[in-house]
Structure 1
Amino acid sequence: MMLLRGRTRKLEESKASGWQAPSNPGARLLGCCLLAHAAVAATAGAPEFPHRPIRLIASGVGGTGDFTARLIGPHLTSRLGQPVVVDNRPGGVVPGQILVEAQPDGHTLMLTGAVTWLSPFMRTSVPFDPVRDFAPIMLAIQSPNVLVVHPSLPVKTVKDLVELAKQKPGELNMASSGIGNSNHLAGAIFSAMAGVDITVIPYKGAQLALNDVIGGRVQLMFATANASKGHLAAGRLRAVGVTTAQPTRLMPGLPTIASAGLPGYESAATIGAFTRAGTPPAVIGLLHREIAQFLQRPDITERLFNAGIDVVASTPQEFAELIRTEMKVKGKIIRDAGIRMN
């Protein structure tokens, strides 16, 4: 269909430039035959997209990226006429390593977070260049992290926490679901920008980490809004601030960390869609259009909101600019703080 639209435009441009169809019926028929032959020749060996199943790589099972991928997958299947298979892989560099080895034709997609474009700052070597090797489709969603503390900790504001951490360097503990994950980076960036020393306690999952904060074995954590809401309402946790640059309706009334004492701070958990660099722009445009229209449907937006997720659905250009900015700003913070991934 894209090829047909392209041929139609060429004919319309020819007419606009003064070309006229022959008035002789025989000449007109011959001209149509020649045009048809040229069209077939021009499109030979150029298959429509998609012409085989699409692989959608998502990190982890049950996480935000997996949840979103399993919403998007069936929609793309119905719209594009080919099955979209969600392929869960460990986080870190594995999804990117798979994508960089794929053909640049749009049949391999990746839905992943900031660890993909920030991992070069946390590892000695990475098997891809996130700017050179990947084509951004969109920043699909973001899920704010919430800075929560155990109620026994004598802090109610960001300023209170910074002051306490400076009084007790290395004595406060922060739970993390793993080095390089969004909640770990949120805490590491917080510590670096505030100039405090908070000890990171890594866990094998976000729920295990949150359980120890609730139990008082660890003092604080940057938890997801969805995971922490019930515990906040029950008084098992206290919220100090939200990590997004602007207030979010997911946590009404809660100030941003930037506005509450740490200007310039922002570290939301973001999930973006990529394909291989070199994929035809028309294919990227089609994928962007289909995914954006789906995510912006009121029922889907509400379903994601109820799961603690905000829809972004940016343009490819906006997403590319975000990646460049984060690599410049957060990359420096990561290097200066000495944050490393295993």
Structure 2
Amino acid sequence: MKPSYGLFAALVLLLSAAPAGAQDFPSHQIRLIVPFPAGGPSDIIARVLGQRMSEITKQPVIIDNRGGQGGVLGTEVLAKATPDGYTIALSSAGALAISPTMERVTYDPLKDLQTITLVAKAPEMLVVTPDVPAKNMAELVALAKAKPGKLNFASTGPGSMPHLAGELLKLIAKVDIVHVPYRGAAPAVNDLLGQQVQMAFLDQPVLLPQIKAGGLRAIAIGAPERASTLPDVPTTAEVGMPDLLAENWHGMVAPAGTPAAIVAVLNRITTEALQDPTVKEKLAIQGATVVGDSPEHFHAFLDSEITRWAKVIKDAGVATEK
């Protein structure tokens, strides 16, 4: 039996509609949610990346800062957005991999979000104040064991990457150091310089001027490779702690249900922007190394990060709100 003309026409229309949507995308401005206030590392990375994406697409990429709750509030806004590719977000390790274990959030990062690409990684650096009589990791661990509960480590808040990096150090080195949370990196650095706290894992950009001025001493960097900005500082693996990896990272995500063809276009645009030499250079100033991978690879990476930090939270006995 021959198919009717109407059925054939409908089939042709159905098959041609999907690629047409992807081919026309984007046809107007894209909203890029940054779940942090303006001026911070995430915001700077988003603006650099967004500008290049706009040049590639010939469409405006509008930055929408939705700060609050360590990136959770802005990520919640993204999860509830229309899944058409015109609302995306540059979220971070805290909101995507740590907060869902630490507190009640309204989204499941693996189910309610569509991964696009891992944008960049920014390793944390362990520093101590000049009055701490430890020049390297071995001496620092020995000091902490000799004086349990006497060394304080600063963080940018409960559940932040600097906080969990300190907890991971406690677990691996089997030392008793005390967590002192702050509302951001700036007040944490101020109290480090004032020697109110003795050590911290923090992002490189906020530490670099103080390290070079002698106000803080770098002990190790929580990454597989040394930093080009401080090539003399060893990695945690080089000091005998290969599992002490503490890298903040930023990833591009969309609401779940965004069509696969649109996700593919967003991935192509973002990864192309990340390969631009100017983008790489500007992100390097923020202590970040560009990545750019597939949605599937980023999803697997996110899954592994959730599992890894959930174990640290459980093993360290970190208080949660769940």
TM-score normalised by length of structure 1: 0.83
Contact preservation (8 Å) 2:71, 2:92: no
Q: Which runs of 5+ in 2 are unaligned?
A: 1-7
Please state if 1:54 is matched with 2:54: no
1:20-31 paired onto structure 2 within 5 Å:
none
Counterpart position of 2:241: 262
Q: 2:231 is aligned with what amino acid?
A: P
Counterpart position of 2:100: 120
Q: 1:122 is aligned with what amino acid?
A: M
Contact preservation (8 Å) 1:179, 1:341: no
1:181-220 paired onto structure 2 within 5 Å:
181-220=160-199
Take 1:136 and 1:40, find their aligned partners in 2: how far apart are those partners?
26
Is the deviation greater in 310-319 or in 62-71?
310-319
Contact preservation (8 Å) 1:151, 1:237: yes
Aligned residues: 307
Counterpart position of 1:43: 17
Contact preservation (8 Å) 2:71, 2:91: no
2:268 is aligned, of 265, 285, 289, to 289
Take 2:241 and 2:134, find their aligned partners in 1: how far apart are those partners?
15
Superposed structure 1 runs of 4+ greater than 6 Å apart: none
Is the deviation greater in 48-57 or in 191-200?
48-57
Counterpart position of 2:44: 67
Q: 2:300 is aligned with what amino acid?
A: E
Counterpart position of 2:3: none
1:86 is aligned, of 49, 53, 63, to 63
1:338–1:40 Cα change, 3 Å = closer
Q: Which runs of 5+ in 1 are unaligned?
A: 1-33
CA deviation vs aligned residue, 1:169-205 (integer Å, no higher than 9, x gap) = 2211111111122222221222222222211111122
1:123-142 paired onto structure 2 within 5 Å:
123=103, 125-142=104-121
Take 2:100 and 2:267, find their aligned partners in 1: how far apart are those partners?
26
CA deviation vs aligned residue, 1:189-225 (integer Å, no higher than 9, x gap) = 2222222221111112201111111221210111221
Take 1:68 and 1:114, find their aligned partners in 2: how far apart are those partners?
14
Q: 1:83 is aligned with what amino acid?
A: P
Contact preservation (8 Å) 1:158, 1:262: no
Q: Give the match's secondary structure for 1:313.
A: coil
Deviation at 1:332, TM superposition (A): 0.8
Identity %: 38
**RMSD between aligned residues:** 2.3
Counterpart position of 1:24: none
Take 2:320 and 2:43, find their aligned partners in 1: how far apart are those partners?
22
Contact preservation (8 Å) 2:172, 2:241: yes
Take 1:192 and 1:128, find their aligned partners in 2: how far apart are those partners?
29
Counterpart position of 1:96: 75
Take 1:43 and 1:121, find their aligned partners in 2: how far apart are those partners?
40
TM-score normalised by length of structure 2: 0.88
Asked which structure has the greater CA Rg, the reply is: 1
2:149 is aligned, of 162, 165, 170, to 170
1:120–1:306 Cα change, 3 Å = closer
Q: 1:134 is aligned with what amino acid?
A: L
CA deviation vs aligned residue, 1:126-166 (integer Å, no higher than 9, x gap) = 21111111111111111121100001101111122222212
1:42–1:307 Cα change, 3 Å = closer
Contact preservation (8 Å) 2:148, 2:177: yes
Contact preservation (8 Å) 1:69, 1:111: yes
Q: 1:302 is aligned with what amino acid?
A: E
Deviation at 1:253, TM superposition (A): 2.2
Take 1:320 and 1:289, find their aligned partners in 2: how far apart are those partners?
16
Counterpart position of 1:150: 129
Contact preservation (8 Å) 1:225, 1:251: no
1:278–1:165 Cα change, 3 Å = same
Q: Give the match's secondary structure for 1:261.
A: coil
Higher relative contact order (CA 8 A, sep 6+): 2
1:314–1:38 Cα change, 3 Å = closer
CA deviation vs aligned residue, 1:86-106 (integer Å, no higher than 9, x gap) = 111222421221122112221
